[in-house]
Amino acid sequence: MKWLPYPMVRITGFFIGGILLGIYCPDIISERMAWAAIAVLVIFFFVLVARKQAGRASIFLGIIGLVSIFLLGYNRLLWKNELRRETHVSNIKERIEVCEMVVRSVPEEKINSWKVEVEILQCKAAGKQWQPVIGRVLLYLSKRNHYTPTLRYGDRILVHGEPRLLSPPMNPGEFDFKKFLSYKNISHQLFITQADIISLPTRERKGLIYYSHEARRWSLQKLAEFIPGKSEQAVASALVLGVTDAIDDDTISAYAASGALHVLAVSGMHVGIIYAIILVLFKPTEKYRNSRWVVAIVSVLLLWAFAFITGLSPSVLRAVAMFSFVAMARPLGIRTNIYNTLAASAFVLLVYNPFLIMSVGFQLSYLAVFGIVYLQRPIYRWWEVHHRVGDWIWQMTCISIAAQLATFALGLLYFHQFPTYFLVSNLFVIPLSTLVLVGGIILLALSLVTPLAIATGWALAWLIKFLNWIVFTTESLPYSLVNNIHITVFQCWLLFGILAGILLLFQYKKITWLYFSFVMAIIFSITDWAHFFSTVNQRQWISYNIRGHQAIEFLFRGRSYFISDSALRADREQIRFHIQPNRLRHGVADVCESIPFQKKIKGIYYLRWNHQWIARIDSPGYQFPQHCRFDQIVVSHNSLNKKLLDQFQVGTVIFDGSNTTRYVRTMKQQAEAKSIAVYATDDQSAFIQ
What confidence tier does 171 reach under pLDDT thresholds 50, 70, 90? very high
Strand 629-635 and strand 649-655: the pairing is parallel
State the pLDDT at residue 313. Answer: 76
- Bridge partners of 223? none
pLDDT of amino acid 418: 85
Nearest CA to 654 out of 543, 549, 562 is that of: 543
Residues 494-505, mean pLDDT to the nearest whole number? 92
Model confidence band, residue 258 (pLDDT cutoffs 50, 70, 90): confident
Is 162 within 8 Å of 193 (Cβ atoms)?
A: no
Check pLDDT > 90 for residue 518.
yes
Q: For 125, left (φ over 0), alpha (ψ -120 to 50), or beta?
A: beta
pLDDT of residue 300: 85
pLDDT level of residue 333 (50, 70, 90 thresholds): low
pLDDT at 113 over 90: no
Contacts within 8 Å (CB) and 24+ apart, 455-459:
456/226, 457/223, 457/225, 457/226, 457/227, 457/228, 458/228
Note whether 104 and 208 are within 8 A (CB): no
pLDDT surpasses 70 at 152: yes
DSSP assignment of 378-442: HHHTT----SHHHHHHHHHHHHHHHHHHHHHHHHHHHH-EEETTHHHHHHHHHHHHHHHHHHHHH
What is the 3-state secondary structure of 53-103? CCCCCHHHHHHHHHHHHHHHHHHHHHHHCHHHCCCEHHHCCCCEEEEEEEE
Task: Please say if the pLDDT value at position 491 is more than 70.
Answer: yes
Q: What is the pLDDT of residue 496?
A: 92
Residue 52, pLDDT above cutoff 70? no
Torsion angle defined by CA atoms of residues 533, 539, 545 and 551, in that order, rounded to the nearest 10 degrees: 130
3-state secondary structure of 637: coil
Q: How confident is the model at residue 582 (pLDDT cuts 50, 70, 90)?
A: very high
Mean pLDDT, range 507-530, rounded to an integer: 92
Q: To 10 degrees, the CA torsion angle through 324, 327, 333, 339? A: 60
Identify the weakest region by mean pLDDT among 166-175, 304-313, 331-340. Answer: 331-340
Residue 145 has pLDDT above 80, yes or no: no
Half-sphere exposure of 364 (CA within 13 A, CB side): 19
CB 628 within 8 A of CB 601: no
Distance CA 666, CA 678 (A): 12
* Rounded-to-5 percentages of helix, strand, coil across the chain: 55, 15, 30
Q: Quick one: pLDDT at residue 506?
A: 87
**Do residues 168 and 124 lie in contact, with contact meaning Cβ atoms separated by under 8 Å?**
no
Residue 529 pLDDT > 90, yes or no? Answer: yes
Backbone Cα Rg of the chain: 29
| pLDDT band for position 444 (cuts 50, 70, 90) | confident
Res. 561 pLDDT band, cuts 50 70 90:
very high
Element (H or E) spanning 601, and its range? Answer: strand 598-601
Give the pLDDT of residue 1.
46
What is the pLDDT averaged over residues 408-422? 86
SS3 561: strand
Report pLDDT for 530: 92
For residue 528, the model assigns a pLDDT of: 92
Indicate whether 53 pLDDT > 60.
no
Q: How far apart are CA 97 and CA 128, in angstroms?
A: 10
The pLDDT, as a whole number, for residue 138 is 92
Checking if the pLDDT of 324 tops 70, the result is yes
Q: What is the pLDDT of residues 591-647, one digit of tens each?
A: 888 888 888 888 888 888 888 888 888 887 777 777 678 888 898 888 887 767 666
How many Å apart are CA 83 and CA 81, to the nearest integer?
6
Q: What percent of the chain has pLDDT over 90?
A: 17
Whether pLDDT at 162 is above 80: yes
* Spatial separation of the C-alpha atoms in residues 151 and 192, rounded to whole Å: 14
pLDDT of residue 673: 80
Q: What is the mean pLDDT of residues 186-192?
A: 91
Higher pLDDT, 83 or 385: 83
Backbone angles phi, psi at 149, to 5 degrees: -70, 150
Burial of 490 (0-12, 13-18, 19+ CB in 10 A): exposed
User: What's the pTM?
Assistant: 0.86
Q: Distance (Å, rounded) from C-alpha 633 to C-alpha 147?
A: 41
Give yes or no for residue 232 having a pLDDT over 90. Answer: no
Exposure letters 65-84 (e unless 16+ CB within 10 A, then b): bbebbbbbbbbbbbebbbee
Crossing angle of helices 230-241 and 249-257, in 10° steps, is 60
Q: How many residues are present in the chain?
A: 689
The whole-number pLDDT of residue 685 equals 87
Average pLDDT across the chain, whole number: 85
Flag the least confident range among 233-242, 252-261, 402-411.
Answer: 252-261
Angle at 181 between CA 179 and CA 187, to 5 degrees: 90
For residue 56, pLDDT beyond 60: no
Higher per-residue confidence, 279 vs 351: 351
CA distance 211 to 215: 6
| CA dihedral over 26, 31, 35, 41, signed as positive or negative | negative
pLDDT at position 73, please? 93
Residue 2, pLDDT above cutoff 80: no
